[in-house]
Amino acid sequence: MAGENMIVLNENNYSEVTGTPDKLVLVDFWATWCGPCRAIGPILEKLAGEYPEQVVIGKLNVDENRALTESHGIQSIPTILLYKGGQIKDTLVGARQFADYKSVVDQYL
């Protein structure tokens, strides 16, 4: 993963990272076997590069973090949850184009 604002999330750091008060946090629920998940990886890296100071992108592997996945009601992947001020503000299900993710981020900045 590229950039300091791309973080691997797990049970230990999820609450701390998603509660970051001064940044938007996008959490990517994904799996290694998921083709669309792998397809949006470079898109999310590009997004992280566009907003190095304002946005954190967290990658959460659903196979390694089943409890978090279930507690957030994730039923299909990729799913992106957008947090602002520790609260979920938006949910994007399925692979999207860069412009779609950028538009949602711009809406909350």
Catalytic residues: 34, 37
The SS3 assignment for 33 reads coil
Cis peptide bond upstream of 52, omega within 30: no
The SS3 assignment for 97 reads coil
Residue 9 pairs with which residues in a beta bridge? 60
What torsion, rounded to 10 degrees, do the Cα atoms 42, 44, 48, 54 define?
170
Contact 55, 48 (CB under 8 A): yes
